[in-house]
Chain A
């Protein structure tokens, strides 16, 4: 018999429904895998075995009485950004020291309502600010992938690095994640997993620790396209507690898999061919184009002229919103407090001790660009550029393009504690060059593994769709997955 942890969600669902396995057995298998691997991979910052077993037991009872939900008995890992009642929720920051919310985020509640089992909370970059999972207060996550013949430890990407690593190493059946500038798609690409950032408004943001509210969106990281489709269906909802969540029917995303892409128009934007892009990435892109052409899609060259301005505009908009959102961490209502000689001194000392270097840097940038005299030059200009970025996409879609194919990242996974990246924050920011446009325009984007580079590390392709047309992305990504196959790291941990 194969290991229970090697089952996809779709496979586990079948075995649970046919009573070939129990939810308790499946959960125990994952808890065992976590216990054996987590000291090395550091994907989980909190494991909740008692809660997991109790939830699994309840799942088995519901299965026995014919009341199984869509995710009944499926063990999931939850990014530490999601509020989970009575369980560690700190956005991997020291400033939320000891915080255990008295409420549950809408996204996780939706998952539990469908019968999913929580294994624990996953590591991430502090407040989702980072592309390598190295800004976490709980230390870096180690990518389960290693280059061929190398023992160097690699980053899993970020900010959802714990989610991606846990899925790739089979330490959960699937994971929740969030994406503000690429935080689902970049780690998915670095770990050979599938990650989708749905359209802004598809998932409720209620109970998710806010980073940049006009960009943040939750989505799943999963082992394959089908599992991502299954998870997103459960995560998405309209929510009275988030007025930006949309009241649109949630399609059966899984039903889109296997549908033909014949005569679909796939746009290839020339602006995504950037200077210094490794040859492996270009080759992968061409391979993706060939897969879709072979499946009957029409490939068209398109132009998205404002692409190069997306990242600089993002580094105004996102820090500005973050500086405002993170003003609430003041040592009064929750988390860490460092005493001072008066209240202002207490605020300043608390925030100095509680926030890490990257978070402070972004709060400072945000405060600067919003400060008197600079607002028009920076923030207003960035929001106007954002309108232009969105218009580029609208024009392409208006001309008949159904989806856009690009590389997901400009490279494969890089080493832990890379000195060049540590010395230059902007170099690290460039990791999001292909993903950030999608957040700026509020569009859905999926990263799907499409091959390995010369070092034997996974690379991903990104598909970008029209607002609320996630089905098109699942359908097209599934065609790429069928052609490229799936990628699993050799177990060394």
Chain B
């Protein structure tokens, strides 16, 4: 499989990263280099092999379904670029 310019632009859009025409062109070569490199995995026989889901076999610890944290609205918005009365401000999304 190889990546073309249209694919690079589509993936950039999916990743929400604006790319210029020049950047997209440069990425075609770079991404193909990496994809070619990882392509060698297809030669491995994985018949009957389970995909890894957890590197150490462990049971997920669970906790009581209880409120253990909170009342920190000021802290949560403290680093936001734009806020108003403990709300995050974003450009208008509904007309």
> Chain B, 33-64, contact with A by CB distance < 8 Å: what is the 0/1 string?
11101111110101001111111101011010
Give the interface size bracket for B toward A: 35 or more
A243 at the interface (CB under 8 A from B): yes
Given contacts A348-B16, A352-B17, A387-B50, contact A467 B40 (CB under 8 A): no
The answer to whether A367 and B11 touch across the interface, beta carbons within 8 angstroms, is yes
Contact of B37 among A312, A369, A467 (CB under 8 A): A312
The answer to whether A332 and B41 touch across the interface, beta carbons within 8 angstroms, is no
The answer to whether B33 and A426 touch across the interface, beta carbons within 8 angstroms, is yes
Bound together, the chains give a CA A337 to CA B80 distance in angstroms of: 9
Number of interface residues of A (CB under 8 A): 77
The answer to whether A426 and B34 touch across the interface, beta carbons within 8 angstroms, is yes
> Chain B, 64-79, contact with A by CB distance < 8 Å: what is the 0/1 string?
0000000010011011
Given contacts A336-B81, A346-B91, contact A383 B51 (CB under 8 A): yes
Given contacts A336-B81, A340-B91, contact A316 B52 (CB under 8 A): no
The answer to whether B14 and A371 touch across the interface, beta carbons within 8 angstroms, is yes
Bound together, the chains give a CA A313 to CA B14 distance in angstroms of: 22
Given contacts A214-B55, A334-B80, A343-B93, contact A385 B41 (CB under 8 A): yes
Q: Write the residues of chain B forming the contact surface with A, with a CB cutoff of 8 angstroms.
A: 1, 3, 7-8, 11-19, 27, 30-31, 33-35, 37-42, 44, 46, 49-56, 58, 60-61, 63, 72, 75-76, 78-82, 88, 90-93
30 pairs from A and B in contact (CB 8 Å cutoff): A102-B79, A201-B56, A244-B58, A313-B38, A313-B41, A331-B81, A332-B81, A334-B79, A336-B81, A339-B91, A340-B91, A343-B90, A348-B18, A351-B15, A351-B17, A352-B17, A352-B18, A360-B17, A364-B11, A364-B12, A368-B7, A377-B1, A380-B51, A381-B44, A384-B46, A387-B49, A387-B50, A441-B55, A442-B55, A467-B56
Q: Write the residues of chain A forming the contact surface with B, with a CB cutoff of 8 angstroms.
A: 98-103, 199-201, 214, 240, 243-244, 246-247, 306, 308-309, 311-313, 315-316, 323, 327, 330-337, 339-349, 351-352, 355, 360-361, 363-365, 367-369, 371, 374, 377-378, 380-388, 390, 424-426, 429, 440-442, 467
